[in-house]
Each structure stands twice: as structure tokens, then as C-alpha cells.
Chains A and B, each alone.
Chain A
């Protein structure tokens, strides 16, 4: 588990044994494999990239090549205990609709994203006047898949407006936790556990 990305490790640590999980944007199935191994979770995945899908299926995982923006509609309501959207919200064409679908399909949803108000990001914009390239945002503006950048406070306001409940939230600076109060400035990543 220590090899998991910190936000995935948090999610993995909070999915109960035997739960039914949909990982939207599951990559090569790293989190799914860990959930299956450590907690006998019934994990399903959706992933856009064909090579990642092949890799995930080749390790015996149930992963469907598809798009979070278009391929969630066919899943029945509350088909899963948890829907997971890790580092994918900011890449969606319509993040609001994806989140609605997530909370329709899953009884609860984990959402993790890079915080665009992290102080290093702010510094880069303020002093250098350049789009930031950091550990959490590793590529240049023209290469990035992140078309809907957001901050911790943006997300808090967004779920509040929509009446979505936050059951728990974790804020990370590297692999270290940071407080909720200073999160919008100090957190590089955020993980929210949501419930409609």
C-alpha cells in the first residue's frame, strides 16, 4: 500500500472490506488491484486510455474503456457503494455533470484533485507570471489534460451550493496531511468523501 499515490492510499484506507466500487479514471488499475488484494473489494473501472485499459484487464481487473463524460449514464442508480474519481474531475468536459452521475451511481463518492490555490502554484503565477508546473501539475499548459482547474475553496463552495454533503476530507502536502483550515493555501492535493 505504501507504493500507492498518497491520495489513493487515503481512499484505499477508507473503503470497507467487501464493498462494491467503481473507479472512474482508474488508470492501469493500481488502486483497484490494491482494493481487491487488501479488502476483497468488488472493483470495476473506467479508463480512457487503451493502453492503461489493456494493462488493467491483463492483470485480471474489470475495466471498461470509456469516458467519464459520456459513459456513466448506463449504470443504474446506487449500483456501487463507492464511486471514485481520483485526479480526473479537472479533466472532465463537464465536471458538474460527472459529479452528479458519480453521486447517482455510488452511495458515496471519493473525489480527489490537485489544488490550484496551493502556495507554490500561486507563487508561480504571481512572481513568474507563468502557468505553474509542480509535482501535482507536472506538465506545461499546452500538454495538460487539466481543462477545469479548481481550488479547495472552489470545490467547497461548489458542493455547498448543490447541497452535497462532505462526510470527510483530507488535505495533502506531498504525502503529509495538512489542516482543513489552511488547506486552500497549503494543500497540494485534496480528497473529499461525498454523499448526496
Chain B
């Protein structure tokens, strides 16, 4: 990957690809108690400038990870946001010091249910504490302390990444100059929670889940996790997108089988999505992170009024939604924008047109890059 060679070689072991650190302090949690030790898997790209003003944090979505612009170690695929992060992109290692960390609760190097609890020497499994998005963000702040980053030029993320961005702005307003919230929401709706519950029940209904203690047994709840992914994947696409891509076309056959094979292309596609997902993701992590998202309600954390979360903020906000996103529809972004207006914050908002549904933020939408680039550069003159 060219990015690795682009970044200036550093003796400092804190910087670079595929980094991992055990943070020096325990992490107090919203749910009570502390998480210790706190391990964080992360990557950095580019170089922190002398006055430390060019640091940008990328926050990832539910099943994302720190490999924002580097090859994924398991799938061998390019980073998940190379359209946005990379040479000549809006977030460019030639200009920015870019940090992306695996969220706690996940399974790509940060503390989660699959990591070892030093108290027992076995994986945490369901003894891992239930965490919140704010806990994730506080862990990221501790990572930035470790990296010597004080104030961030920007925090940028889509979907659950956008929720972390909002938590950043609300929790550390003096530590972030601008934020970009893409295809996201300030709370999980009943419908959002409902879809997640389907996924969790699919995992827990798999006999191989074994109450979460499947590590080392040779069995994993792969079937349950695959079904969870299939259900969720539908919510990431638009109906028009599915129709255009698959319609009612049959998969490698001329006629219906009058059986329960994947007759339709869309079935085959979803099964593939489910199967390939379980190779790279831990089922218990899926439970914990979806729970954290369902618990997310930024207004609730601030006396029931969303504007309170941003009162007196000097952070600049950019909010972007997509017209075909029905998972976090434009109305959710508007709620954020109205609250920011009420708080007197500097906010930009646009609903972009895309056929791709929620996933649009990861796909080729040139207008998104133009908006983010202009918004980021306004801070650099």
C-alpha cells in the first residue's frame, strides 16, 4: 500500500500502521465500574506537525476497524474509506496526521469480549462490561493523550462513526475544532433498535453461541452472526438499489427450483455477505457494539434537550445525509442541525443524492468528497 511508504518513517513506535497500545489508566464506564486494562488497536498516517494542529481522528462504523486506508489483515481488501482518506483525498496524509482506532468492544485489537481478562486468564466473553459510545470516545481521547495529540483539527465519521463524532463534540468540545457527521443520528430510533435486536437474537439463538463462551471450543455462532449480518445489510441499501442490482433475477439457473436454495441473486448476495462477515468479526463484539448503539441518545445524556449537548460550543459542524438512507434518514440529521442552530453553533448541512442508501458514505459520491474537502480546508487557511 502506497500510504505506508508515503508516511515519513518514524523511530517513534507510537506511529504507523497496525499499532497496539495498553493505555496507562483504567477507563471509567458509563455503566459503572472500570475497564482495565484498556487495549487499543489503531493506525496513524502522516505526521503530526510542529504545533500539533493537523490531527484528524476517523471514527469507524459498527463493523469497521482501524484499517481505514490500509489493507485489511484478514480479508486482504483495501481500507474501508480509501475514497476519503489517502493521497489527494480530502483527508490526506501529506497534510494531516490521521488517527483511526478500533473501538473498545470490537475485535480488531482493542479490548472486547474476545480479549483476555487478566483476572482469569480467559476471554472476557459476556463478562465484558456493557459499554457506551461515550465510553468508546473517552478511550479514544486517552489514546490521543498517549499519541501527544491535544486538540484535533477534526473528527470525522459515518453511521456509528458519526455518533462518536457527536459524542466527541459534546464530551470534549475544547478538544476538537471541527466535526463531520455523515449518515448518522443523535439517537437510535425504535426501528434501529428493532433491527439490532433481530441480529442479536439470531446470534444468541445459535446453539454454538453457548452463552457467549464459545472461545476455544472449536465452534462459533457463525450461522447466527451471518443471519445478523444479512438482516443488517438490507438496512444499509436502498430498495431502488437492490432492485437495480438484482431485481428478481435468478442465480445461475433458468427456472425456480421449487426448493429453498438461493434461487434469487439477492439471496445469494446476502448469503455471501453473511458468510464473508463471520470470517472477520466476533459474534460477541456484534452484541456489545449494537447494544452501545441502541443505548445511544445524546439528548438523554444532556437533560433531554439535544441543544444542551452543544451549548456554547465553538466547534464547527458539518452534517451530511443521503436521500435514500432509510436507516438514518435525513430527518435525523435535521434534528441534529436544529439543535445546533438552537445552540448557536456554526453548522453546515446538506442532503446529498445517491442511489446507494445508507452505504453511500462508503461509496463513490463525489459530492461528499467536495463538501468534506471544502469544510476541512476552511480551517487550514
Instruction: Enumerate chain A interface residues (CB-CB to B < 8 A).
Output: 42, 44, 50, 53-54, 56-66, 71, 74-76, 79
Instruction: Kindly state the separation between the CA atoms of A60 and B380 in the bound complex, as whole angstroms.
Output: 10
Contact A57 B347 (CB under 8 A): no
Contact B348 A63 (CB under 8 A): yes
17 new A-B contacts at CB < 8 Å, known A50-B353, A63-B348, A64-B349: A50-B351, A53-B348, A53-B350, A54-B352, A57-B348, A60-B374, A61-B348, A61-B378, A62-B347, A63-B350, A65-B351, A66-B337, A66-B349, A74-B339, A75-B342, A76-B344, A79-B344
The answer, yes or no, to whether B316 is at the interface (CB within 8 Å) is: yes
Contact B348 A62 (CB under 8 A): yes
- What residues on A are CB-neighbors of B347 within 8 Å? 44, 62, 64
With CB as the reference atom, state the residue of chain B lying closest to A42. B346
- List 18 A-B residue pairs with CB atoms under 8 Å apart, sorted by A's residue number: A50-B350, A54-B367, A54-B371, A57-B348, A58-B370, A58-B373, A58-B374, A58-B375, A60-B377, A61-B348, A62-B348, A64-B337, A64-B347, A65-B351, A74-B342, A75-B341, A76-B342, A79-B344
- What residues on B are CB-neighbors of A59 within 8 Å? 374, 378
Count B interface residues, CB 8 Å: 26
Q: Mark B323-367, 1 if CB is under 8 A from A, else 0.
A: 000000000001001110110101111111100000000000001
The answer, yes or no, to whether B227 is at the interface (CB within 8 Å) is: no
Contact A44 B371 (CB under 8 A): no
Quick one: given A44-B346, A66-B349, are A57 and B318 in contact (CB under 8 Å)?
A: yes
- What residues on B are CB-neighbors of A74 within 8 Å? 338-339, 341-342
Instruction: Kindly state the separation between the CA atoms of A168 and B199 in the bound complex, as whole angstroms.
Output: 63
Contact B371 A62 (CB under 8 A): no
Counted as pairs of residues, one from A and one from B, with CB atoms less than 8 Å apart, the total is 65
With CB as the reference atom, state the residue of chain A lying closest to B367. A54
Residue in A50, A60, A66, A71 whose Cβ sees the most chain B Cβ within 10 Å: A60
- What residues on B are CB-neighbors of A58 within 8 Å? 370-371, 373-375
Across the interface, A57 reaches (CB within 8 A) one of B338, B350, B353, namely B350
Across the interface, A71 reaches (CB within 8 A) one of B338, B346, B351, namely B338
Contact B375 A60 (CB under 8 A): yes
Quick one: given A54-B367, A54-B370, A57-B318, are A65 and B341 in contact (CB under 8 Å)?
A: no
Contact B344 A64 (CB under 8 A): no
With CB as the reference atom, state the residue of chain A lying closest to B320. A57
With CB as the reference atom, state the residue of chain B lying closest to A62. B346
List of 9 A-B pairs having minimum Cβ-Cβ separation, nearest first: A60-B378, A58-B374, A74-B338, A53-B350, A64-B349, A57-B348, A62-B346, A74-B341, A65-B350
- What residues on B are CB-neighbors of A44 within 8 Å? 346-347
Instruction: Kindly state the separation between the CA atoms of A3 and B185 in the bound complex, as whole angstroms.
Output: 40
Instruction: Kindly state the separation between the CA atoms of A66 and B351 in the bound complex, as whole angstroms.
Output: 10
- What residues on A are CB-neighbors of B316 within 8 Å? 62
Separation in Å of the B236 CB from the closest CB of chain A? Answer: 22
With CB as the reference atom, state the residue of chain A lying closest to B370. A58
Instruction: Kindly state the separation between the CA atoms of A114 and B341 in the bound complex, as whole angstroms.
Output: 29
- What residues on B are CB-neighbors of A53 within 8 Å? 348-350
Separation in Å of the A82 CB from the closest CB of chain B? Answer: 15
Instruction: Kindly state the separation between the CA atoms of A63 and B351 in the bound complex, as whole angstroms.
Output: 12
Instruction: Kindly state the separation between the CA atoms of A71 and B338 in the bound complex, as whole angstroms.
Output: 8
With CB as the reference atom, state the residue of chain A lying closest to B376. A60
Instruction: Kindly state the separation between the CA atoms of A61 and B75 in the bound complex, as whole angstroms.
Output: 40
- What residues on A are CB-neighbors of B334 within 8 Å? 66
Across the interface, B350 reaches (CB within 8 A) one of A54, A60, A71, A79, namely A54
- What residues on B are CB-neighbors of A62 within 8 Å? 316, 346-348
Contact A64 B370 (CB under 8 A): no
Instruction: Kindly state the separation between the CA atoms of A52 and B344 in the bound complex, as whole angstroms.
Output: 22
- What residues on A are CB-neighbors of B350 within 8 Å? 50, 53-54, 57, 63, 65
Instruction: Kindly state the separation between the CA atoms of A132 and B146 in the bound complex, as whole angstroms.
Output: 68
- What residues on B are CB-neighbors of A79 within 8 Å? 344
Contact A64 B341 (CB under 8 A): yes
Contact B341 A57 (CB under 8 A): no
- What residues on B are CB-neighbors of A57 within 8 Å? 318, 348, 350, 371, 374-375
- What residues on B are CB-neighbors of A66 within 8 Å? 334, 337, 349
Separation in Å of the B156 CB from the closest CB of chain A? Answer: 14
With CB as the reference atom, state the residue of chain A lying closest to B330. A65
Instruction: Kindly state the separation between the CA atoms of A50 and B351 in the bound complex, as whole angstroms.
Output: 7
- What residues on A are CB-neighbors of B349 within 8 Å? 53, 63-66
- What residues on B are CB-neighbors of A71 within 8 Å? 338, 341
Separation in Å of the B50 CB from the closest CB of chain A? Answer: 24
Separation in Å of the B181 CB from the closest CB of chain A? Answer: 13
